[in-house]
Amino acid sequence: MPSSLSNLRALCAAIALLFAFAHPAAAQLSFKPTAEAVQEDKLLNALKEGDKITGRISIPDSMASSLIQPAGRDWRDFQRSKLPIIGGVAILGMLVLLAVFLMMRGRIRVDHGFSGTKILRFASFERFTHWLTASCFIVLALSGLNISFGRVLILPLFGAGAFATMSGYAKIAHDYLAFPFMLGLVIMFLIWIKDNIPGKIDWQWIKQGGGILSNGKHPPARRFNAGQKGIFWIVIIGGALMSVSGWFLLFPYLPANVTALQFWTVIHAVIAMLFIAAMLAHIYIGSVGMEGAFDAMGTGEVDLNWAKEHHSLWVAEEQAKGRAPSGSDTRAVPAE
């Protein structure tokens, strides 16, 4: 027994010796937790615009791997400070412009009066497409404006509960009416593109300001004048941008990246404000602003004198094809 005890002592001494010798090596390898530790301040300062601090995560949601994204602040600033200015200037500015224009120019009349003879301007399918797109646009615009400005303008009137219920339905309408709206855009593009290619005649129309500011002067135009071509391309390009950006917002797991989603919401909101402002002008000139214009999308048939004044070349083409009355009105003179 004593010998085994001394053996144990010797073993312990040997182990202790081993540790004593090993110690310098261990010190060399010792891990310094401070040396290269990630510092939040450094990471934040190194971030570029729109960047975020990301890492690895064990839950299967790639978006959750973003730890801090300071860009959220910029997005908030855009929503609460910049967008109201953009929207206010675009939409209220357009309403003021239209009001001033109405006061100065008044309603644009048919110079030669109504002839009583009608010419078909938009066939039923064209009108259907127009109103499909237009009715969707109005609901989309109102529900979209509600998201941006309802909290300030409508919530105090309705109260929190009623406003949230209304906004909930508005959001559903916004999400689902996007699809018939996009369908309408595609059909409009296909059926009207051929009449909306810019040409030399449009330059002449633009130089004369479309004859808008002077009574009785009407630059010649085919089926669509330069102004209408402008509206067509605003709708097509604006609508395409709204569709693409809206698509990402409807399917947020497509980009699966909060920075991309922020970008698309900004595009969606800014284009929407400009789009709404442009459509206010379109609605104005198609209804209050010009006598005889609404019939084109109402019954589809416009007065021949209106058509001759605003679309002289188109009337001539239609008459040549035998699709329009020749115009028995003796007062009718070719515009310009």
DSSP 88: I
- 63 in contact with other proteins (CB under 8 A): yes
Distance between CA atoms of residues 218 and 210, nearest Å: 7
Read off the tokens for 264.
């698309």
> Among residues 9, 80, 105, 207, which is the contact residue for other proteins, using CB under 8 A?
80
Residues 252-271 that bind other proteins (CB under 8 A): 252-253, 258, 261-262, 265
- 139 in contact with other proteins (CB under 8 A): no
Q: Which helix (H) or strand (E) holds 66?
A: strand 66-68
- 88 in contact with other proteins (CB under 8 A): no
- 19 in contact with other proteins (CB under 8 A): no
* Ramachandran category for residue 190: left, alpha or beta (phi over 0 → left; psi -120 to 50 → alpha): alpha
> Among residues 51, 66, 126, 187, which is the contact residue for other proteins, using CB under 8 A?
66
> Among residues 2, 24, 33, 322, which is the contact residue for other proteins, using CB under 8 A?
33
What contacts 302, CB < 8 A, 6 or more positions away?
118, 119, 121, 292, 293, 295, 296
What contacts 177, CB < 8 A, 6 or more positions away?
136, 139, 140
> Among residues 12, 153, 160, 237, which is the contact residue for other proteins, using CB under 8 A?
160
- 287 in contact with other proteins (CB under 8 A): no
> Among residues 3, 4, 34, 124, which is the contact residue for other proteins, using CB under 8 A?
34
- 75 in contact with other proteins (CB under 8 A): yes
Cβ atoms of residues 136 and 184 within 8 Å: yes
- 143 in contact with other proteins (CB under 8 A): no
Chain centroid to CA 271: how far?
4
> Mutual orientation of helices 226-250 and 160-192 as an angle, nearest 10°?
130
> Among residues 3, 4, 26, 56, which is the contact residue for other proteins, using CB under 8 A?
56
252 vs 292, beta carbon nearer other proteins: 252
Shortest Å distance, C-beta 37 to other proteins: 4
Ordered DSSP codes for 260-303: HHHHHHHHHHHHHHHHHHHHHHHHHHHTTSBTTTGGGTTTSEEE
- 103 in contact with other proteins (CB under 8 A): no
> Among residues 115, 129, 133, 167, which is the contact residue for other proteins, using CB under 8 A?
167
**Interface positions with other proteins (CB under 8 A):** 33-41, 43-44, 53-59, 61, 63-70, 72-73, 75-76, 79-80, 146-148, 150-151, 155, 160-161, 163-164, 167-168, 171, 174-176, 249-253, 258, 261-262, 265
